Copies of this chain bind each other. A is one copy, B any other.
Amino acid sequence: MTSEAENNFLSGYDPSIYDQPICTVDVVIFTIIEQQLHVLTVKRAEHPYQNTWSLVGGFIDPQIDLDLEATAKRKLKEKTGIQSPYLEQYGTIGNQSRDPRHWSLTTIYFALIPADNVKLDAVPGAVDIKWSPLKDSMIKEKLAFDHNEILAKCVERLRNKVLYTSLPVHLMPKEFTLGDLQKIYEIILETKMDHKSFRRRILNSEILEDTTKFHHEGKRPARLYRLKHQLETHYFLRNIESSSA
């Protein structure tokens, strides 16, 4: 395929002479803490927006990142220590105005991590990092760049997907009860759900398997389930009809 002419062209090619956008990756990291959806935010050490809270993110490093997802995973690991959570590409925003430095492009991922994996202080030097609780798809902080909008869009995507997928299982610990799982659905959707319908839906999907164990706490013990050994997200044929239709 590569002709001599093409080889000559390639050896003379210098990307730095062209005007190109700034390229970054941002990761919206969700978890559930104390019955509320939270996002991980970090305080920026450098300009622009120095000392402003922002989403986790940074430059693609062509020397160390094999691909885009590797950049996202590297950032995630740096901030949380977590290696392989649920990670999905949300999309890419690129325009003239979002970064004062230059035309800027950012590819956005969102990650779901189980509540019990949250140990921020395990990360060395991670002082200005925190979980921010969400209210109405937003957090209190005014974030750097267009990060508040990015966050709102990711929450919207998450809410929509929860209506027809099993995504919330990725927010659960290894073993959990159906009641626990329903609570997570309800937190994300901001709606109460009928427990009979919920169990039918989840159990019929056959994504869970019965650990023969029970969770004892307070009253009647609840059966513990775990995710079947397969990572694929289940797509239901019908949406939950509640709330945001």
Contact = CB atoms under 8 A, between A and B. Distances in A.
B102 A15 contact: yes
Contacts of A89: 91-92
A231 interface: no
A62 interface: yes
Interface string A222-245: 000000000000000111010001
A47 B9 contact: yes
23 contacts: A5-B47, A6-B47, A9-B47, A10-B47, A15-B20, A15-B102, A16-B17, A16-B19, A18-B59, A19-B61, A20-B21, A20-B59, A20-B62, A21-B62, A23-B23, A23-B94, A60-B103, A62-B102, A66-B95, A68-B92, A68-B105, A91-B91, A92-B107
B13 A16 contact: no
Number of this chain's copies in the assembly equals: 2
A10 B105 contact: no
A173 interface: no
Given A1-B49, A23-B94, A92-B107, 17 more contacts: A3-B50, A15-B102, A19-B62, A20-B22, A20-B23, A21-B60, A60-B103, A62-B96, A62-B102, A66-B96, A91-B91, A91-B92, A94-B107, A105-B105, A237-B238, A237-B239, A237-B245
Interface in A3-47: 3, 5-6, 9-10, 13, 15-23, 47
Contact of A239 (B67, B105, B238): B238
A59 B237 CA distance: 39
Interface in A180-239: 237-239
Contacts of A48: 2, 6, 9-10
